[in-house]
Structure 1
Amino acid sequence: MRTILLAVKRYELAQRQPGARSGPLGSVAIEVLELFANLVDFRTGRLDPAIDTLMGQSRSRRR
Structure 2
Amino acid sequence: MSEKRLLVVDDEPEFGELVARVAADLGYETQVTTNGRDFQSAYHELHPTLVVLDMVMPEMDGNELVLWLME
The reply to whether TM is greater than 0.5 is no
The structure whose RCO (Cα within 8 Å, separation 6+) is larger is 2
Bigger share in helix: 1
Provide TM-score, normalisation by structure 1. Answer: 0.39
Bigger share in strand: 2
Provide TM-score, normalisation by structure 2. Answer: 0.36
